Amino acid sequence: MNGVHDFGGMHGYGEINPEQNEPVFHDEWEKRVLGLFVPIMAAGGMCVDEFRAQIELMGASNYLKTSYYEHWLHAFEKLLLTSGLVTEEELRSGKASMVDPAISPPVTVSDIPVITATGSSARRDGKAEPKFKKNDLVLVRNEHPTHHTRCPRYVRDKIGQIDRDHGVFVFPDTAAHGNGEKPQHCYSVKFSARELWGDNASESDSIYVDLWDDHLILG
């Protein structure tokens, strides 16, 4: 999806001015939003790719004027509603209309270390054969889907080199929309800065991007 979230190579957004001594959280409510991530996943309300896709569906003006954790909260609200974990009324009132522990057992503080340690890894043990090997030259498919993709706009139709095969992982472009996991190999692909940004880029710089089998063809 060629949305406002895909900033690579874009102009006109002003300078990046990192906040000096930036705190981990700017407000107390941000801690609560962060704390919702694991329980919602544990309850089956989302996978990480669905979460990212919902943030990308935010309108451009709303995306740009809201903060990092406001993006998270927007995604959580949409996903909780579509998964049926909350109702519109519960979201408006902030109160549960019905709690059935047998259906929705609460996630406790003691559960969190176990969940995060064993987690919901996207790595799969499948027998999928890799389409590429280390040092292969590859061309990134010049596709512009209207849905979530992990292939950033600035590498499309560019030539890179396979640097590393990470193994078999869920394919985010399908998992984000309930279209199956489609496990396949994920690679670290090396691009020269000049391949991406032109002759004015540094000759010595490189960019590494994680891309899946379906994003690539042999160069």
**Could you report the per-residue pLDDT of 138-189, keeping only the tens digit for each?**
999 999 999 999 999 999 999 999 999 999 999 999 999 999 999 999 999 9
103 located within any domain: yes
**What's the pLDDT score for residue 54?**
97
Domain boundary among 118, 152, 186: 118
**What's the pLDDT score for residue 116?**
78
**Could you report the per-residue pLDDT of 41-52, keeping only the tens digit for each?**
888 899 999 999
Q: Are residues 163 and 98 in the same domain?
A: no
Q: Are residues 101 and 40 in the same domain?
A: yes
Domain boundary among 67, 90, 118: 118
The domain in which residue 83 lies consists of 28-118
Q: Are residues 171 and 93 in the same domain?
A: no
Q: Which of 10-19, 149-158, 192-201 has the lowest mean pLDDT?
A: 10-19
Q: Are residues 33 and 97 in the same domain?
A: yes
**What's the pLDDT score for residue 101?**
63
List of long-range contacts for 34-40, beta carbons under 8 Å, 24+ apart: 34/69, 34/72, 36/72, 36/76, 37/72, 38/107, 38/112, 38/115, 38/116, 39/107, 40/76, 40/79, 40/80, 40/85
**What's the pLDDT score for residue 9?**
83
Q: Are residues 167 and 102 in the same domain?
A: no
**What's the pLDDT score for residue 103?**
62
| Structural domains counted in the chain | 2
pTM confidence score:
0.89
141 located within any domain: yes
Q: Are residues 106 and 149 in the same domain?
A: no
The pLDDT > 70 percentage for the chain reads 96
Q: Are residues 113 and 32 in the same domain?
A: yes
Q: Are residues 67 and 149 in the same domain?
A: no
pLDDT category at 8 given cuts 50, 70, 90 is confident
Domain boundary among 89, 118, 147: 118
The pLDDT > 90 percentage for the chain reads 73
163 located within any domain: yes
- CATH number assigned to the domain comprising residue 87: 1.10.472.20
**Could you report the per-residue pLDDT of 92-112, keeping only the tens digit for each?**
999 888 776 666 677 788 888
15 located within any domain: no
22 located within any domain: no
Q: Are residues 201 and 144 in the same domain?
A: yes
**What's the pLDDT score for residue 90?**
92
